[in-house]
Amino acid sequence: MKKFISKLMGFSIGPILGAAISFLTVPITTYYIDPSEFGKASMFSVIQYFLLSIIFLGIDQSYTREYHRVENKNKVFQNALIIPLLASMLLSVIIFIFQNQFSIFLFSDSKYPEISILFGIMIVLSVVERFILLSIRMAEKALEYSLFSVFLKLVVFVFTLVLVLSGKRTFLTIVYATIFGQFLGDAFLIIRHRKLLKIGLNDFDYPLLKKMITFGLPLVIAASLSNLLNTSGRFFLRGYSTFYELGIYTAALKISNILQIIQTAFTSFWVPTAYRWDKEKKDIKHFSFVSDILLLVMTIGFFLILFFKKYIALILSSDYSEAQFVAGLLALTPILYTLSETSTLGIVFSGKSHYNIWVSILAIIPNLVLNYLLVPKFGTIGAALATAFAYIVFCISRTYFSRKCDFKISFYKQSICICLFFIAACLNSFEYEYSYIVTLGFFIITLLVQYSTFSKIIEVKKNSEQWNFE
């Protein structure tokens, strides 16, 4: 158990320190940059995020699956990298050719073709970064993984600070800080792990590559739909509302990203651990225990955001005070995604990746319908409601299809708590006199639902010989 916690903490250092640095960056940008400009900057990261999900072709997920099944780790790395890298280069050339049109697409203005060019280069570097970080993560080099996460956030923070102090206080401040921070961070990563990038024809393994593509291609559709799920609220706000509303929504996401610390730390640690446990035929009670502990941690984190949403929002500056009302709804995204990571393992272990397509379809349909109906009338709250409800469907669907693959982890407590989370978040989306008392009531009820988890913790401590978390 000690080794388990030690490894988890090793992966947590980076996200925690990185989030702390990001949290320092947010008030600097929101204090000097108004919501409309902040909204424009968010489109840059949204498009990058969306395009990368397609470019990877699901091979990044295949790489993690094959890592422990292939003895030659460099060989599996190089075969996994080659197609996404070529795809990113092709996209970069297309963006370069249509740089003015791409500038209009991002910022509704053709005056920024240089941003388009830098964006194309950034896409290529992001692909290389993704696979190198996956290699570090699958090797369970927790400290190195964490240190790079901190370094990248620190570089972006420094660039942001320099640009703001030099008088550049538009959306370009955030965009340029992101670009040059990424360039410097990736340059360091590539130089350090340059041996991984020595790709030779002798390393090409067609059967291995075919196997990864076969597993990964269904994930392309699933990943594209999943990323559309994450970004559709911002696309609808861009189309049916204003850059101001988009800025408020993005600022609220920054608040909810406090819980993304747990998501990033846990998933970075959990994926290689879960694969190893499956290989070792670990009893399912270990997976269930981890899921229950995670629910307890997420419960505390979620209600802390609801209790202190007003004060957290004030850090952003008074222009962004409305962000507090959607912070709870948007916090459900990292909560539900992280919880589902413990219940979706049946899909992963069985190799039936096509189920992920159905998961994404089932989640995206209500998301698009609700965004269409709610955003024109309710703006940021409508977009946040659509995202929160869709992620409930996403989490339940992942669990359902995983159970069809005979991974029948207990999810009863999680289901009840998810309903309580959603109701509490909805009640916190507007201001009323007894909101704190109502929220406290929901917190107590949610903890009572998890009474058996506390009993299980005591049992694990007393009968440690019956539990093996190594």
**Domain residue extents for the chain:** 2-464
The count of other CB atoms within 10 Å of the CB of residue 436 is 12
For residue 200, the model assigns a pLDDT of 66
Q: Of the candidates 375, 453, 444, 379, which has an alpha carbon nearest to the alpha carbon of residue 414?
A: 453
Cβ proximity of 371 and 363 under 8 Å:
no
What pLDDT score does 449 carry? Answer: 94
**How confident is the model at residue 316, as a pLDDT?**
66
| Confidence at residue 8, expressed as pLDDT on a 0 to 100 scale | 58
pLDDT score, position 197: 80
pLDDT at position 253 is 79
Per-10-residue mean pLDDT for the chain, 470 residues long?
Answer: 59 66 70 76 82 84 78 81 90 92 83 89 91 82 77 81 77 85 88 80 77 78 76 84 80 76 74 77 82 92 89 70 87 91 84 83 93 92 94 94 86 93 94 90 95 84 67
| Cβ-Cβ contacts under 8 Å for 172 (sequence gap 6 or more) | 41, 112, 115
Amino acid at 102: F
Question: What does the pLDDT read at residue 424?
Answer: 96
Residue 362 pLDDT: 93
167 phi, psi to nearest 5 deg? 100, 0
CA distance 194 to 305: 42
Rounded CA-CA distance 421/366 in Å is 19
Q: What is the rounded CA–CA span in Å between residue 302 and residue 259?
A: 7
* Cα 245 from Cα 327, distance rounded (Å): 14
- CA distance linking residue 258 with residue 253, whole number of Å: 9
Residue among 305, 273, 276, 268 at smallest CA distance from 290 = 273
CA distances from 213 to 135, 209, 327, 355 (A): 18, 6, 38, 16
Which H or E element spans position 422?
A: helix 412-427
